[in-house]
Amino acid sequence: MGRRLKRVHVVSLGCAKALVDTEVMLAQLESRGYELTNGDEAELYLINTCGFLDEAMEESFTEIERLVELKGRYHGAKLAVLGCAAEALKGKLCERFPEADLVAGTGALAHIGELVDQLEDCQAGNGALLDFPPPGGVYDGNPDPLPERVALTLPHIAYVKLAEGCDLGCTFCAIPALRGPQRSRPLENVVAEAVSLAEGGVRELILIAQETTAYGRDLYGEPSLPQLLAELSLQLPGEGLWVRVLYPNPARVDTEFLEALAYYPQLVPYLDFPFQHADMSVLRSMGRTGDAGTLYATIVKAREIVPDLVLRGTALVGFPTEDQAAFDRLTDFVGEVGFDHLGIFAYSAQPGTRASEELGDPVPQDIKALRAEALHSLQEAISLAKHDALVGSADTVLVDAVSEKSAIARSYRFCPEADGVVKVTLPEGHDWRPGEFRQVGYTGALPYDLIAEPLAER
- Residues 312-325 pLDDT 10s: 999 999 999 999 99
- Residue 190: partners with Cβ closer than 8 Å, 6 or more residues away: 160, 162, 228, 232
CATH number at residue 93: 3.40.50.12160
**Res. 124: pLDDT tops 70:** no
Residue type, 15: C
**Res. 230: pLDDT tops 60:** yes
Check residue 50 and give its pLDDT: 92
Check residue 125 and give its pLDDT: 61
Could you give the CA distance from residue 254 to residue 236 in angstroms, rounded to a whole number?
24
Q: Is residue 426 included in any domain, yes or no?
A: yes
Q: Is the dihedral of CA 109, 114, 116, 122 positive or negative?
A: negative
Could you give the CA distance from residue 138 to residue 159 in angstroms, rounded to a whole number?
14
CATH number at residue 406: 2.40.50.140
pTM for the model: 0.95
Q: pLDDT by residue (tens digit) across 383-429? A: 999 999 999 999 999 999 999 999 999 999 999 999 999 999 999 99
Q: Is residue 194 included in any domain, yes or no?
A: yes
Check residue 147 and give its pLDDT: 86
Q: pLDDT by residue (tens digit) across 338-351? A: 999 999 999 999 88
Q: How confident is the model at residue 298 (pLDDT cuts 50, 70, 90)?
A: very high
Strands 6-12 and 34-36: parallel
Could you give the CA distance from residue 438 to residue 455 in angstroms, rounded to a whole number?
8
Considering the domain architecture, whether residues 157 and 117 belong to the same structural domain is answered as no
Three-state secondary structure of 336-378? HHCCCEEEEEECCCCCCCHHHHHHCCCCCHHHHHHHHHHHHHH
Could you give the CA distance from residue 435 to residue 171 in angstroms, rounded to a whole number?
41
Considering the domain architecture, whether residues 10 and 117 belong to the same structural domain is answered as yes
- Helix segments in 31-96, DSSP class H: 54-73, 84-89, 91-96
Q: Is residue 76 included in any domain, yes or no?
A: yes
Q: pLDDT by residue (tens digit) across 250-285? A: 999 999 999 999 999 999 999 999 999 999 999 999
Name the percent of the chain lying above pLDDT 90: 87
Q: Is residue 261 included in any domain, yes or no?
A: yes
Q: How confident is the model at residue 53 (pLDDT cuts 50, 70, 90)?
A: confident
| Cβ-contact 339, 382 below 8 angstroms | yes
Could you give the CA distance from residue 238 to residue 276 in angstroms, rounded to a whole number?
34
Identify any residues that bridge with 272 across adjacent strands, giving them in sequence order.
312
Check residue 2 and give its pLDDT: 46
For 449, the domain range is: 394-454
CATH number at residue 206: 3.30.750.210
C-alpha distances (whole Å) from 281 to each of 286, 321, 323, 357 are: 9, 8, 10, 18
More confident site: 243 or 137: 243
Q: Is residue 188 included in any domain, yes or no?
A: yes
> What's the total number of domains in the chain?
3
| Cβ-contact 295, 332 below 8 angstroms | no
Domain boundary among 221, 247, 268: 268
**Res. 458: pLDDT tops 80:** no
**Res. 106: pLDDT tops 60:** yes
Considering the domain architecture, whether residues 166 and 262 belong to the same structural domain is answered as yes
Considering the domain architecture, whether residues 95 and 168 belong to the same structural domain is answered as no
Q: Which DSSP letter does residue 211 get?
A: S
Domain boundary among 222, 241, 268: 268
Considering the domain architecture, whether residues 114 and 218 belong to the same structural domain is answered as no
Considering the domain architecture, whether residues 167 and 240 belong to the same structural domain is answered as yes
Q: Is residue 330 included in any domain, yes or no?
A: no
Q: pLDDT by residue (tens digit) across 278-295? A: 999 999 999 999 999 999
**Res. 3: pLDDT tops 60:** no
**Res. 122: pLDDT tops 90:** no
Instruction: Identify the CA nearest to 438 among candidates 386, 388, 400, 392.
Output: 400
Most confident of 55-59, 129-133, 225-229: 225-229
Considering the domain architecture, whether residues 119 and 233 belong to the same structural domain is answered as no
Check residue 1 and give its pLDDT: 38
Q: Is residue 248 included in any domain, yes or no?
A: yes
What are the two backbone dihedrals, phi and then psi, of residue 386, each rounded to the nearest 5 degrees?
-65, -40
Domain boundary among 131, 166, 181: 131
Mean pLDDT, the chain, whole residue set: 94
Could you give the CA distance from residue 243 to residue 159 in angstroms, rounded to a whole number?
10
**Res. 55: pLDDT tops 60:** yes
